[in-house]
Amino acid sequence: MSRATTQLPPVAIVVSRYNATITNALLEGARSTYLGGGGSADRLGVIEAPGAFELPVLANALAQSGMYRGVVALGCVIKGETRHDEFIAGAIAHAIADISIRTGVPVAFGVLTTDNAEQARARAGGDKGNKGAEAMVALLETLDALKDIGDAADTRTPGIACRLKSPVSDKSRGSA
């Protein structure tokens, strides 16, 4: 599917209010990526969650609502003196993956899990890019791939190929 000639599907963003300076930057990155890619504001839902732990329940409600083809979950979990970050981040990641698989509605993971606020700022529009924007790109490309698979299934055409339209981070090459 060529996004240049087709209107982007309706999608939702669920964003944690906790660590709001960071999550607002992630939200802006995701929103501007959607709108800049041809999406319209009236097809973009934005829901706030009190904290990162609440992201999955709201993402699940959005996925099951039938209003959106995909969801981006945005949050920021910063390591503290205890191991709370490990439990929260792991639970969120597992739940988001489960929602995607169970509902068939992709939920892109845009939750930062960093050792400190400096690392989070670097990934929320700083020198490491904007992971909110990257999560939106991942969602849109997943939706493209799902459409290609569905189109091939409708015509019973095996051997489909769906190529990503944007570069993907490759940490083996030293990119963020």
**Host domain of residue 116:** 11-173
Q: Which of 69, 78, 96, 56 is nearest to 12 (CA)?
A: 69
Where is mean pLDDT largest: 26-35, 144-153, 167-176? 26-35
Q: Which of 101, 143, 110, 109 is nearest to 151 (CA)?
A: 143
Could you tell me if residue 5 is inside a domain?
no
What was the pLDDT predicted at 154?
77
Catalytic-residue membership of 84 = yes
For 92-116, what is the mean pLDDT? Answer: 97
Angle made by CA atoms 171, 130, 60, in degrees to the nearest 5: 95
Give how many domains the chain has, as a whole number: 1
Q: Catalytic residue, from 20, 67, 84, 153: name it.
A: 84
Listed range (62-66, 114-118, 144-148, 163-167) with the worst mean pLDDT:
163-167
Residue 2 has pLDDT above 60, yes or no: no
Could you tell me if residue 6 is inside a domain?
no
CATH number at residue 143: 3.40.50.960
For 112-118, what is the mean pLDDT? Answer: 96
Could you tell me if residue 70 is inside a domain?
yes
Reported as a single tens digit per residue, the pLDDT across 36-63 is: 999 999 999 999 999 999 999 999 999 9
Could you tell me if residue 56 is inside a domain?
yes
